[in-house]
Structure formats: C-alpha cells, structure tokens
Amino acid sequence: MRGVLINLGVISGGSQTVWGWWIWKLRQCYYDEAELHQHQKLEKLYISTRAGKHFQRDIVRGVEGYIVTGSKQVEIGTKLSEDSRKYGTENTCTSGTTLSKAALNYGRARAQMEKERGNLLKALGTQVAEPLRAMVMGAPLEDARHLAQRYDRMRQEAEAQAIEVSKRQVKVREMPGSPELAMKLEAAESKLQDLKSNMAVLGKEAAAAMAAVEAQQQRLTLQRLIAMVEAERAYHQRVIQILDQLENEMISERQRIEAPPTPSVENNMAPPPSYEEVNGVYASQSHNGSTDGMGYFLGEVMHSYQAESDVELTLSVGDYVVVRKVTNNGWAEGECKGKAGWFPFAYIERRERVLASKIAEVF
C-alpha cells in the first residue's frame, strides 16, 4: 500500500485536491473491506500453517534422534544382558551360587527391558514420526500454500493495475476529448474488474484450503503427541514392573544369605504324642522315652513354627513359652499365650531371666 501511495504522489505532482481524489478512487475500486478481511485471514492462516509445519518437523527430528540414540542404548543393554547371563551360567565360584543367580536374574530382566525399549522406539517411529513426516511433505499443505501464493501474486497484479487505472484517469481529465485515452481507460478498468473478480474466487478457495490444512495439522499433531506420551508411559510402567520383580528376587536372596540358619524338623523325627499321651504325662517324670530332668523353664522363640496338627503349638519369633517337657526325639511340650502343645525344641533358646511383662504374655 505504501508503494501505491508513493507512486500516486509522483503522479499527482503535489496537488492536494487531485491527491485526495486519487486515494478515494483507488480505495473504491480496490481496497474494499471484504477483500482486506480475506487478505488478513489468509496471512494468519499462512503464518499458522507454517508454524505448525515447523513444529511437526521439529517433532519428527526429535523422535528420529531419540530412536537413533535409543537403538544404541538397546545394543549396549543387550550386550550387558548377554554378559550377565554368561557369567551366571559359567561361574564356578566355590563359595556359593548367589552371585550367579543374581547375574542370571539381572541378565533376564535387562533383556526384557531392552525388548520393551525396542518396542517403544518402534512405536515412536510408526505412530509419531511417520504420520507427521507424511503431512509435512504431503500434497494438501503444499497445494494450499500454492493457492495462497497465487492469490498473493494476483493481488499484486491487481494493485499494479489499480495504479494504471489511476494514471489513465489523470490523463483523461487532462485531455477530456481524446477517444483513444477513454478507450484505454475503459480497457484498464475492465481488466482491473476481472482481476478483482478472479482474486475474490481464488482468495476464498485458498482460505478454505488453508483452513482445512490448519485444522488437520492441529488435530493430527495433538493425536501424535498423545500417542507418544502413551507409548512412553506404557514403556516406563513395564520397566518398573520388571525392576520391582528383579529387586524382590535379589532382596529375598540377600535376606536368605544373611538370615541365621533355621532349624528344620528332620524327616525321620517322630511325630509328637497325642492329646491322650500329653494329658497322661504332665504329672509323670518320664513317658515313652521322654524326660523332663531340666524341670520347667522359660524359652524364647528364635524361629517361627507353624503347627501341623492339633497337638502342636504355633510359635512366632520373640514369643516366650513355658517348657514343661522335652523328649529324646527333639520335641518339647509347653504353653504359650494360653495354649499348650508340642513344638521342635531347637526352635527356642532357654532364658534364665525374663521381664515380668513377658511372663504375663505367656499366660
């Protein structure tokens, strides 16, 4: 517009009256409100779709870089998994197989995690990068931009033609009786009208195409971002599950190593006596090979024991039990927390001094 006004200023020769008429006439024939609105709309759409295209391209580049880096990490992690499995399989340590088991478990878990990472990278490529790349390079966007560019060139041509019309109008006013100048002015005005008509049609077509592309850009890009978030979320959740399982396995193995050995009831150990035998021996000093020469005493439970029959007594670590009889085959009879029964004697340790509160718990 500034260029048009400068050209008009040169033509006017400085006459303020003619200058004002030229501007009014130019606005009447060219810069109508509908055309200006169409032009501004196309400019905004062009800027919006260009920014959307650049953002899509940035996402594609970022995802592609992430895939390249992730593929290298998968390669390194897979090698670590293989090395861990190899150590776990070939280790011949004489002090035990604990580390071998841990290495095997770690190798298995690492292989699972790298598989999940590979699935993530594949998903990012097929669900995010490829659809966005296709739209960046696709025909709809380019076709819409070409329409907008054609409209812009036609608008410039119409602007130049409007200046030409203004020049010829000046000449006709200077030489009002010249039929040749009048015919040239009429032809110029007719051409300008045709340009304006074509420009209006092309502007609507370009605006519709650009608006459709903008809506598709917004919708598709948002969908791909959501797909990327969901893929990464699923990957991290699966990795957490794998790591939790691995940690539980390793901690359980460590606790098994660090815990003191738990005495076990030998398979050849005779079962405890029945209720009838128990009731019959409470007042005697010996019965069926049993002896209670130690007399009654308090014992602290060092290892938990779960009763396997009605005559046995369930014990928990830290409980105190009144031991009333100990047999030669490893069983002891006593009372704990108001209940009486048999239990493996090796599961308790004798205590000479016990707090009064602990004694109260026994009964």
- The string of pLDDT tens digits covering residues 194-205 is 998 898 898 889
Highest mean pLDDT among 92-101, 258-267, 344-353: 344-353
Residue 251 has what pLDDT? Answer: 87
Q: Tell me whether the CATH fold assigned to 30-258 matches the one assigned to 297-350.
A: no
The answer to which of 143-152, 178-187, 211-220, 251-260 has the lowest mean pLDDT is 251-260
Continuous H helices in the chain: 2-12, 16-29, 33-90, 98-124, 130-136, 139-174, 179-258, 275-281, 356-362
- The string of pLDDT tens digits covering residues 260-309 is 666 666 556 667 766 555 555 443 344 444 444 457 888 999 888 988 88
- How is the chain split into domains, by residue range? 30-258, 297-350
Question: Is this structure's pTM higher than 0.75?
Answer: no
Pick the CATH number of 297-350 from 3.40.50.300, 3.40.50.2000, 2.30.30.40, 2.102.10.10: 2.30.30.40
CATH class of the structural domain 30-258: mainly alpha
Nearest-angstrom CA–CA distance, 328 and 307: 20
Grade residue 310 by pLDDT with cuts at 50, 70 and 90: confident
Grade residue 240 by pLDDT with cuts at 50, 70 and 90: very high
Mean pLDDT of the chain: 82
Phi, psi of 203 (to 5 degrees): -65, -45
Tokens of 137: 């390079």
Grade residue 235 by pLDDT with cuts at 50, 70 and 90: very high
Q: Residue 321 class from Cβ within 10 Å (0-12 exposed, 13-18 middle, 19+ buried)?
A: buried
Read off the pLDDT of each residue in 213-242 and give the average, rounded to a whole number.
Answer: 96
Type of residue at 54: H
- Crossing angle for the helix pair 179-258 and 16-29, nearest 10 degrees? 60
